[in-house]
Amino acid sequence: MEGGAVACPSNQCYVNKETYWCHIIYDDFNKRLRVEDYRGHLYEFIQYIEKEAKQKLYEKIIIKARFEHVPLFIEKGFINEGWIQGYFNGSDVYFLAKYLIAGRRQSDDWCKEDEIIHSIQSQTRYNDLSSLPDGFFMRKAEEKDAAELSGLYKTVFAVYPTPLQQMDYVLHILKSGTIFYVIEKDEQIVSAASAEVNETYHNAELTDCATLPEHRKHGFMKHLIYQLEMDLRKNGIFCAYSLARAKSFGMNAVFHQLGYQYAGRLTNNCYIYQELEDMNVWFKNLAYEQ
176-196 pLDDT, tens digit each: 999 999 999 999 999 999 999
Buried b (16+ CB within 10 A) or exposed e, 257-287: bbbbbbbbbbbbbbbbeeebbbbbbbbbebe
Question: DSSP alpha helices (H): ranges in the chain?
Answer: 42-55, 70-75, 102-105, 110-121, 146-156, 167-175, 220-234, 249-257
pLDDT at 159: 84
Residue 236 CB-half CA count within 13 A = 7
pLDDT at 160 over 90: no
The set of residues, in sequence order, having a beta carbon less than 8 Å from that of 85 and lying 6+ positions away, is: 92, 239, 261, 263, 283, 285
Helix %, strand %, coil % of the chain (to 5)? 30, 40, 30
Mean pLDDT (whole number) for 118-128: 87
pLDDT at 215 over 90: yes
pLDDT at 289 over 70: no
Q: Pick the closest to residue 205 from 221, 227, 183, 229 (CA basis).
A: 229
What's the chain's length in residues?
A: 290
pLDDT tens readout for residues 28-40? 999 999 999 999 9
Question: What is the identity of the amino acid at 40?
Answer: G
Give dist(CA 53, CA 13) in Å, integer.
13
DSSP letter string over 23-81?
EEEEETTTTEEEEEEEEE-HHHHHHHHHHHHHHTT-SEEEEEEEGGGHHHHHHTT-EEE
Percent of the chain with pLDDT over 90: 87
Contact in structure between 6 and 16 (CB atoms under 8 Å) = yes
Strand partners, 21: 16, 39
- For the entire predicted model, the pTM comes to 0.93
pLDDT at 290: 56
Residue 10 banded pLDDT, cuts 50, 70, 90: low
